[in-house]
A and B are shown apart, each in its own frame.
Chain A
């Protein structure tokens, strides 16, 4: 009798777990990032000083400070939940930052506080990785060709510009996030933040040239909400 009761309780607990997990996991915030005004025209990068990189590119390489798409869409915008969700522990999978053809891939890399950051040099030349944080520790390391990946971590949330002093045209951004709810706008400016529990959130969009803006969004249950961000572009 007692055993039976225990069994039933376990079954009930299991059922509840299954139901919780099987439920569509929370709400979604999606939308599009666009600009208004005239953005700066991308400039052609002259890689002639580094022939081993120059020959990797069939077409001219352009600067990535502002990358736009059709319909005034804005790429490379970090969209994230800046308030309304507790800080989360970092995943152990490393975020990979590649140096290839004297460019950073991806140009904007978002990862969490204390998440391993794997820095790889695929080029036939030395790079020095020189992120320029204001809050986190600043370091500057050489990575000659053929050396194993370098692993780093950042312990405070921050947007950090990254440069290579040897190849001054190389420019990238690290976005160190407090939780796992972040994404980067794609070519058409669209973004999706899934798996959000019901609650009131501040959604922030950050762009390396145009700064940031925030919106308050309240989500109930498995609701989907649309939020659009419009940045004012300047031609300089």
Chain B
């Protein structure tokens, strides 16, 4: 009997070891959960090697065969540094953040909107993208920054935002009129040491990381990692951040927004809007 016991214990132990083996050999099953969708890395792999690898590369390092022809280099998934996040600077994005980026695309870059794929497809792709970097095994995604409800839009809010734009020296890169032509604009480089231009509000309606006021709030509170755009989370309070959002909208003189309409109705605002020339593209090329 004791020998039988011993044998059964050994079998149990062996079974335990075998069940952990996949984790030990690195063939871990990566799953993602985005809303009601559960992404599967194996399914994502097939999609990646059909739609993504031409730019993002065979190894996910952003060195695909199209990469040399792109002026904003494709994301390097091995480095796992992502621009569009809801999480603080220096942390990994949430699954939902990557999912949203694939769905939305990156405005005015070579990354299109993959809205033609299904939600399930995109969730699978997120799972596969996360297999490229060991960071996903060692770190958790950051805690998303909290976005309080947007306060009522007022002229005073826009004016306070205007003062913040000066105080935080946003104009050093984005220019006094938000045209992406500030004194430091021409010297900026991204993490691939490629020249990169600050956002030209005057020519843009959409942002790289979204279109809503909440997206704008997140952009300067998280920073766009891998670019010169820093996080302002430690230096603006939530109320101030909303003021800044309202003012930034008025810089988008070619985009109809409630903020622009309200600003237009004031004497100072109308003068500023009339004085802002719109030229070039939102990403800064061709600004005169």
Contacts and interface: CB of A to CB of B under 8 A. Distances in A.
Interface in A127-150: 128-130, 132, 137-144, 147, 150
A126 B187 contact: no
A49 interface: yes
A140 B188 CA distance: 14
Nearest to B88: A139
B169 A126 contact: yes
Interface residues of A, number: 21
Contacts of B227: 140
A166 B229 CA distance: 10
Contact of B229 (A49, A140, A147, A167): A140
Given A142-B235, A168-B184, A130 B230 contact: yes
Tell me what chain A mostly uses at the interface: helix, strand, loop, or mixed: loop
A139 B225 contact: yes
A40 B228 CA distance: 28
For the side of the interface on B, what is the size category?
20 to 34
A125 B227 CA distance: 20
Interface in A75-92: none
Given A139-B231, A140-B225, A165 B188 contact: yes
A143 B233 CA distance: 10
Tell me what chain B mostly uses at the interface: helix, strand, loop, or mixed: loop
Given A126-B168, A168-B184, A138 B225 contact: yes
B177 interface: no
B235 A144 contact: yes
Contact of A143 (B88, B184, B191, B235): B235
A192 to B, nearest CB: 35
B198 to A, nearest CB: 10
B184 A141 contact: no
B169 A166 contact: yes
Contacts of A49: 183-184
B6 interface: no
B260 to A, nearest CB: 26
Interface of A: 49, 125-126, 128-130, 132, 137-144, 147, 150, 165-168
Given A129-B230, A138-B191, A139-B231, 9 more contacts: A132-B191, A137-B90, A138-B90, A142-B232, A144-B235, A165-B188, A165-B230, A166-B172, A168-B187
A-B complex: 10 closest residue pairs judged by Cβ atoms = A139-B90, A165-B228, A128-B230, A126-B169, A142-B230, A139-B89, A168-B187, A137-B90, A140-B230, A142-B232
